Amino acid sequence: MVAGGGTMERAELQAPDLSGWRAGNTGIPAVTSFTASEPGPHVVVSALMHGNELSGAHAVDALLRAGVRPRRGRLTFALCNLAAFDRFDPMAPAMSRFVDEDMNRIWSPSLLEGARQSAELRRARELRPLFDTADLVLDLHSMQHESPPLTLCGRTARGGSWAVRWGSRAGWWRTPATWRDPA
């Protein structure tokens, strides 16, 4: 059962063909950005922080194929860990979660500015200028195990404010003070 009393459906996804988006248009591989004529926020939609999380890759692929463009500001799509994604095997999906280390755990300045090397650190260092310019990041993930949908917004007041305005009723959101179930 999930929030709202429904049941979870299982989906078997195939890895999408992302070859059309690998070059990108920003000078950073697999990062495609569009700027509107009207000023506004820079929104980054990222997928594949983990190579085996295919839902976000399908969503970004569909948005790019549909020609989605911002009305104001800048909209950027980032396919983050293609090195792990390229190893995806539906018979052993956990083996393509990352190449050397979990990309979600390496975004601290001390790691990004340090001397340690890994496939994920090299890619994170390449992506850092993009994320540093973002006003809002929607980082799409998939769960490895059955789970209700959730929203994590970080520990900042700004993130908590976005979660409240977004009205996430489908799962969990985090404020600086506590976990709350908005349902």
| Identity of the residue numbered 19 | S
* Residue entry with tokens 């800048």: 74
1 pLDDT more than 80: no
pTM beyond 0.85: no
Whole-angstrom Cα distance, residue 50 to residue 102? 7
Tens digit of pLDDT for each residue in 89-124? 888 888 999 999 999 999 999 999 999 999 999 999
Distance of CA 38 to the CA centre of its chain: 25
Tens digit of pLDDT for each residue in 20-73? 999 999 999 999 999 999 999 999 999 999 999 999 999 999 999 999 999 999
pLDDT given at position 143 = 77
Whole-angstrom Cα distance, residue 183 to residue 167? 10
Bigger pLDDT: 18 vs 158? 18
pLDDT given at position 106 = 94
pLDDT given at position 167 = 66
Instruction: Read off the pLDDT of each residue in 73-99 and give the average, rounded to a whole number.
Output: 94
171 pLDDT more than 60: no
pLDDT given at position 71 = 97
Which residues lie closer than 8 Å to 160 by C-beta, 6 or more apart? 153, 173, 174, 175, 176
pLDDT given at position 93 = 87
